[in-house]
């Protein structure tokens, strides 16, 4: 029953999912049960490992990934191939680590979870390939602690893969050694930030690290480290199996970005859930797949990919859901899991709730984030209950500007400021309504 509830989030049936159009999800079972090793290998699983390890040079693999134009699915949108090519490797350097960021904590986001619970071997295969390309000595999966089902699925899959020789020494006779350890986090949003994740993995406080040096130069335990998101790594086997051209072609003329994307919808839509679609699919199409708003509600605003992305308006639905287009509209694609806001929902309350979350999840390292966000939350709370003061909105905007990129240590606060800034931009009257009138009325 539990499995059914989760798998129901992926709305495409087995008949709609094909190996040549749905590289991420075509192997998923209709009932949401885990695809085990036998089933996975039967469905072309680990074929990319056989095809690549020992047969292609790591440099060629990285070149393929660069031309495939797979952009980081954790929300950053940085080219995976370029990231790999910037990761230090060489005989005079220690072999580093491959870290899978499975700390999926962005509010409204549940895409990696489906892959982790139902298709763990796809991730393992992607990690083997990534490790091969980057000469990583060892892999870590940093998993969100609440993902208990995923932890179970991964543990089983790692055992299966190890027993079958897909992990360990001399994988598939290639001479390449690699193994993976599953590490569960302790429930901090900031651990989704790749360098905070590395500190946490090392047993240090989960504060982000300064860049440069990037993890590719000095990452986990000071060694060259690749950190990739679950979905990013799950794209790797198909991209290498079928080639960059094929992979890039998946998005057709919808986007310059390559491949498919797990898109999702949450909020008061008729059918919240998940779909694997070519990257660059228009917002409207996704909105239609979700059956539009439920119960006759009207769409008021939406966030493209999590709480740390700026609000967009209904008229923005005709934009392509890719990194550049959404960025140009003043928001971010983020995780690509859209959250809708219905008419009648208070933006002040919604943003107050989000800023409360971001304030609480601040690691406490840099001043604007640590001390600015709680102030933002308190101002919003005052506005929410009608105790705002003249100047509060301007103060909020001033605070938000101090939370911008380069002013804070990492991207946490800039992400937190996006919904605030965009909500004031589009719905300023709702904020003004919270300012107490001098006559007390």
Partner 1 sequence: MATIHVDGRAYEVVGSHNLLQACLSLGLDVPYFCWHPAMGSVGACRQCAVKQYKDEDDTQGMLVMSCMAPVEEAMRVSIDDEEAYEFRRSVIEWLMANHPHDCPVCEEGGHCHLQDMTVMTGHARRRYRFRKRTHRNQDLGPFIAHEMNRCITCYRCVRFYRDYAGGEDLGAFGSNDNVYFGRYREGALESAFSGNLTEVCPTGVFTDRTHSDHYVRKWDLQFAPSICHQCAVGCNTSPGERYGDIRRIENRYHGEVNGYFLCDRGRFGHGYVNRDDRPRRPEWRNVGEASATPLEVDAALDRGADALRRARRIIGIGSPRASLESNHQLRELVGEANFSSGVVAAEQACLSRMARLARESGLPAPSLREVEAHDAILVLGEDPLQSAARLGLALRRAVLARGEVLAEARDIPAWNAEAVMTLAQGARHPLFIAYPAATGLDSLAEHHLALAEENIARLGFAVAHAIDDRAPAVDDLDESTREAARRIAEALLDAQRPLVVSGGSLASPAILDAAGNIARALAGRRRRGGLTLVRREANSTGVELLGGHPLEWALDELSRGAADALVVLENDLYQRLPRAPVDRALEASALVVVLDHQRTPTWQRAHLGLPAASFAEASGTLVSLEGRAQRFFAVHEPRYHRPESRIHSSWRWLHALEATLEHRQASDVGLETVIRACADRHPALAAIIDAAPGNDYRIEGLELARAPHRYSGRTAMRAHLDVSEPRPPSDADTPFVFSMEGYSGSDRPRSLVAFAWAPGWNSPQAWNKFTDEVGGHLRGGDPGVRVLEPGSRERSHERSHGRSHERSSESGYATEVPAAFAARDGEWRVVILPRLFGGEETSSLSAAIAARAGASTLTLAADDARRLGVTEGDSLSLETADTRRNLPLRVDPLLPPGLVAVPAGVDPALASGDSARLALPDSMGVETP
Which residue ranges make up the site for partner 1 (CB under 8 A)? 188, 205-206, 209-210, 212-213, 217-218, 221-222, 359-368, 370-375, 378, 389, 395, 398, 402, 406-409
Which of 298, 360 has the CB closer to partner 1?
360
Min CB(213)–partner 1 separation in Å: 5
Question: Are 128 and 51 contacting, i.e. CB atoms less than 8 angstroms apart?
Answer: no
Which of 282, 389 has the CB closer to partner 1?
389
Which of 216, 283 has the CB closer to partner 1?
216
Which of 296, 440 has the CB closer to partner 1?
440
Min CB(353)–partner 1 separation in Å: 16
What is the residue-wise DSSP string for 103-147? ---STT--HHHHHHHH-HHHHHHHHHHHHHHHTEEEEEEEE-TT-
Nearest Cα to Cα of residue 111 among 188, 206, 28: 28
Output 349-356 pairs: Cβ under 8 A, ≥24 positions apart: 349/384, 350/419, 350/423, 351/380, 351/419, 351/420, 351/423, 352/377, 352/380, 352/381, 352/383, 352/384, 354/107, 354/307, 354/416, 354/419, 354/420, 355/380, 355/416, 355/419, 355/420
Which of 293, 420 has the CB closer to partner 1?
420
Nearest Cα to Cα of residue 131 among 191, 92, 86, 84: 84
Which of 258, 372 has the CB closer to partner 1?
372
DSSP state of 396: H
Which of 227, 233 has the CB closer to partner 1?
227
Output 419-422 pairs: Cβ under 8 A, ≥24 positions apart: 419/303, 419/307, 419/308, 419/309, 419/310, 419/311, 419/350, 419/351, 419/354, 419/355, 420/351, 420/354, 420/355, 420/376, 420/380, 420/396, 421/310, 421/397, 422/310, 422/311, 422/312, 422/330, 422/331
Which of 322, 392 has the CB closer to partner 1?
392
Min CB(227)–partner 1 separation in Å: 14
Min CB(228)–partner 1 separation in Å: 20
From the CB of residue 145, how many other CB atoms can be counted at a distance below 10 Å?
14
Min CB(348)–partner 1 separation in Å: 17
Q: Is 204 exposed, middle or buried (0-12, 13-18, 19+ CB in 10 A)?
A: exposed
Which of 71, 188 has the CB closer to partner 1?
188
Which of 125, 361 has the CB closer to partner 1?
361
Give the torsion through C-alpha atoms of 328, 331, 332, 336, to 10 deg.
Answer: -110
- Report how far residue 93's alpha carbon sits from residue 328's, in angstroms, rounded to the nearest whole number: 40
Tokens matching residue 128: 């083997």
């Amino acid at each position: 029953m539990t499995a059914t509830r989760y798998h129901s989030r992926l709305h495409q049936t087995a008949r709609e999912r094909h190996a040549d159009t749905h590289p991420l999800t075509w192997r998923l079972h209709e009932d949401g049960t885990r695809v085990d090793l036998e089933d996975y290998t039967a469905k072309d699983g680990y074929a990319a490992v056989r095809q690549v390890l020992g047969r292609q040079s790591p440099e060629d693999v990285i070149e393929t990934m660069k031309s495939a134009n797979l952009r980081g699915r954790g929300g950053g949108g940085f080219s995976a191939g370029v990231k790999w090519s910037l990761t230090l490797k060489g005989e005079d350097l220690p072999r580093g680590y491959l870290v899978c960021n499975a700390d999926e904590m962005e509010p409204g986001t549940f895409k990696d979870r489906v892959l982790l619970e139902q298709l763990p071997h796809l991730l393992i295969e992607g990690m083997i390939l990534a490790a091969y390309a980057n000469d990583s000595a060892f892999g870590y999966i940093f998993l969100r602690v609440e993902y208990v089902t995923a932890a179970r699925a991964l543990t089983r899959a790692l055992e299966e893969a190890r027993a079958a020789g897909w992990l360990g020494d001399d994988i598939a006779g290639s001479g390449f050694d690699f193994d993976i350890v599953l590490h569960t986090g302790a429930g901090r949003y900031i651990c989704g930030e790749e360098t905070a994740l590395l500190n946490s993995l090392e047993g240090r406080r989960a504060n982000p690290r300064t860049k440069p040096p990037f993890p590719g130069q000095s990452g986990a335990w000071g060694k060259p480290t690749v950190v990739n998101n679950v979905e990013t790594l799950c794209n790797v086997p198909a991209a290498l199996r079928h080639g960059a051209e094929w992979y890039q072609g998946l998005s057709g003329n919808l986007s310059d970005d390559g491949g498919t994307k797990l898109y999702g919808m949450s909020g008061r839509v008729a059918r919240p859930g998940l779909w694997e679609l070519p990257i660059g699919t228009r917002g409207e199409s996704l909105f239609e797949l979700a059956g539009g708003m439920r119960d006759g509600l009207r769409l008021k605003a939406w966030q493209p990919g999590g709480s740390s992305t700026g609000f967009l308006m209904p008229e923005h639905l005709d934009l392509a859901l890719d990194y550049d287009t959404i960025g140009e509209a003043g928001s971010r694609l983020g995780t690509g899991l859209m959250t809708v806001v219905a008419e009648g929902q208070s933006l002040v309350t919604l943003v107050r709730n989000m800023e409360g979350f971001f304030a609480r999840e601040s690691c406490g390292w840099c001043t604007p984030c640590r001390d600015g966000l709680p102030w933002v939350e308190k101002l919003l709370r005052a506005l929410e209950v009608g105790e705002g003061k003249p100047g509060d909105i301007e103060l909020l905007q001033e605070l938000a500007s101090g939370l911008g990129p380069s002013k804070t240590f990492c991207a946490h606060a800039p992400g937190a400021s996006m919904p605030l800034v965009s909500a004031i931009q589009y719905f300023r009257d709702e904020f003004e309504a919270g300012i107490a009138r001098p006559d007390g009325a």
